[in-house]
Amino acid sequence: MGAIDVMILDCGMPLLVERIDGVRSCGLTWLLPAGSARDPNDQQGLSALWAELLSRGAGNLDSRAQADAFDRLGVSRGTGVETFHMSVTATLLGSRLKDALPLIVDMVRRPRMDADALGPARDLCVQAIESLKDDPAERLMTLLKGWHAPEPINRSPLGTLEGIGRVRHEDLLPLWHQRATPRGSIIALAGDVEAAAAASQLNALLKGWDGPSTEVAWGSPTTRGYHHEMDQTNQVHIAIALDAPAESDAGCWPERIATAVLSGGMSGRLFTEVREKRALCYSVYASYAADAKYGRTVAYVGTTPDKAQQSLDVLLAELRRVLTHEGRITPEEFQRAVIGMKSKLVMSGESSAARANALARDWWKLRRPRTLEELTRTIDAVTLDQVNAHLAQRTHGEITIATIGPGPLRAG
C-alpha cells in the first residue's frame, strides 16, 4: 500500500486515490452534500427517497436496464443517507472501473427519478420507518440521537412519515441538482486503480458540472436529560450519550482507547462488570464516533425489566469510572485496547471498499487522507499517561439517557 494521490478535479471536487498492490478489486465512495441535515424542514425524508431513486434509472437507462448494465460488469453498488452526505458506493474489479464510471456518474448527474418510481420508493421508505416498531434497540438509538444532538444534525436518516408524504414528484430533480454539487462532494478510489487515468476520465465525464454547497448550521440541544418511551415488552433497552472530542481534537485518540477499554470485547469493563460478574444483560457495549466538528460516545445495555434499574446504575457507574477518571486505566487494559485497534486497522486495509470509505471520511473530517501507516503511528504515539490525563480533564456536557420498556427508571 503506497502513497495517496490527492487531486482536485476540474469541477472542484477532490479525488483521492490509493493504489493497493496485490488486489484486483476497486472500492469507490462518493459523498455528496445531500444528507438528512440538509432536507427541507417540511420534507424530512427527501434524502431517503433520493437514495432509493438513484438506483431506479439514470440517463438513457430505466431501472431494469441500469441494473442489468451494472450486473454485466459485476458491480456491487449501494446508496446511503447520512447526516451531512448522501453516499454512493461501489465495489468491482479494477479492470472494469473504466466501463463502470459512466454508469456511476450518471446516477449522480443524470438520475431519472421517473414519476412511476416515486410510489414504490415512498413505500419502501415508509416501511423502513414502520419497521422500527419491531426493532426497539434501533428505535432507541434514533430517539437518543434526536434528543442529544441539536437540530438539524439530530435527524433520523430515515426521515419522518409526514416529511416523506409531503415530497412531490416535481420537487425531486430540482432539489437534487441544488444539493448534489461538486463543491462539498468527495470521491475516493482504492485498490487496483491508476490515479491519472481515473482523474482524466472523471474530468471528461463531469465536464460542465458546477455549483457550491452550503454549510449546515446548528445551535445548542435543548432536550437532553432522561427520556422514556413506554413499550409493554419483556425487554428493556437503555442508552446513554455523552459529548466527546471531534476528529480534529487531540483528545480523539485517547477517547478511542478509553472506549476500547470499556467495550473491547469480552475483556472490556462493560462486559466484565455488567454481564459477566452480575449477569444483568444479554447485550452491552460502548462506541465512540467523531465528525468534523463534534463527537459522541454512546453506551447501550439490553436487559429484562427486573434487572433494568441495576443495569442502568452499573452502566452509569462504569462510564463515570472511565470517562470522568474515577478509575484509572491500567497498563494491561491500555495494551489490550491498543492491540485491538491496530488489529482492526490491519483488517480494514485488506478491503478496498473500506479504504475508499476511510479516505473520503478523512477528507470530510480533516481535509486530508491518512494512510494506514500514519494511523498506526498515531496509535503507537499515544501513551497511557496521555489517556489518563485526557480522562482527568475530560468534560462531557449534559448527558442524555433514553430507555424503552414497560416503565421508566431512576436516572441518577
Are 256 and 169 within one domain? no
* Residues 363 and 16: beta-carbon distance below 8 Å: yes
Beta strand pairing call for 186-191 and 225-230: unpaired
Q: How far apart are CA 207 and CA 198, in angstroms?
A: 14
Helices (H) and strands (E) counted in the chain, each on its own, are 15, 13
Are 247 and 377 within one domain? yes
At residue 324, the pLDDT reads: 66
Half-sphere exposure of 272 (CA within 13 A, CB side): 10
User: Which of 156, 180, 204 corresponds to the end of one domain?
Assistant: 180
Residues 6+ apart with CB under 8 A from 51: 79, 80, 81, 86
At residue 338, the pLDDT reads: 95
Whether residue 14 lies inside any domain: the answer is no
CATH number for the domain harbouring residue 104: 3.30.830.10
Are 258 and 356 within one domain? yes
Q: How far apart are CA 298 and CA 291, in angstroms?
A: 14
Q: Give percent of the chain above pLDDT 70.
A: 99
Are 247 and 148 within one domain? no
The closest of 313, 287, 283 to 298, measured between CA atoms, is 287
Q: How far apart are CA 209 and CA 182, in angstroms?
A: 7
Please name the helix (run of DSSP H) or strand (run of DSSP E) that holds residue 295, with its range, or none: strand 295-303
Phi and psi dihedrals of 275, rounded to 5? -100, -55
At residue 346, the pLDDT reads: 86
Query: Can you give the residue range of the structural domain that contains 267?
Result: 225-405
Residues 6+ apart with CB under 8 A from 349: 1, 20, 355, 372
By three-state DSSP, how is residue 290 classified? strand
Q: What pTM was computed for the model?
A: 0.95
Are 260 and 354 within one domain? yes
Q: How far apart are CA 379 and CA 47, in angstroms?
A: 36
Are 110 and 165 within one domain? yes
Whether residue 196 lies inside any domain: the answer is no
Residues 6+ apart with CB under 8 A from 201: 98, 101
Are 46 and 173 within one domain? yes
* Residues 163 and 42: beta-carbon distance below 8 Å: yes
Phi and psi dihedrals of 266, rounded to 5? -70, -15
Phi and psi dihedrals of 263, rounded to 5? -135, 35
User: Which of 143, 164, 180 corresponds to the end of one domain?
Assistant: 180
| Total structural domains within the chain | 2
Half-sphere exposure of 81 (CA within 13 A, CB side): 24
User: Which of 120, 150, 180 corresponds to the end of one domain?
Assistant: 180
Q: How far apart are CA 339 and CA 343, in angstroms?
A: 6
Q: How many CB atoms lie within 10 A of CB 115?
A: 10
Are 174 and 232 within one domain? no
Are 77 and 136 within one domain? yes
By three-state DSSP, how is residue 15 classified? strand
Whether residue 68 lies inside any domain: the answer is yes
**Beta-ladder partners of 229:** 404
Q: How far apart are CA 27 and CA 281, in angstroms?
A: 38
Whether residue 20 lies inside any domain: the answer is no
Are 64 and 135 within one domain? yes
Are 165 and 230 within one domain? no
pLDDT < 70 positions in the chain: 1-2, 324-327
Residue type present at position 318: E
Angle of CA points 333, 338, 342, to nearest 5°:
150
Whether residue 190 lies inside any domain: the answer is no
Whether residue 157 lies inside any domain: the answer is yes
Whether residue 22 lies inside any domain: the answer is no
Q: How far apart are CA 298 and CA 282, in angstroms?
A: 17
Q: How far apart are CA 371 and CA 184, in angstroms?
A: 22
Q: Residue 159 has which C-alpha cell?
A: 426521515
Whether residue 13 lies inside any domain: the answer is no
Are 279 and 361 within one domain? yes
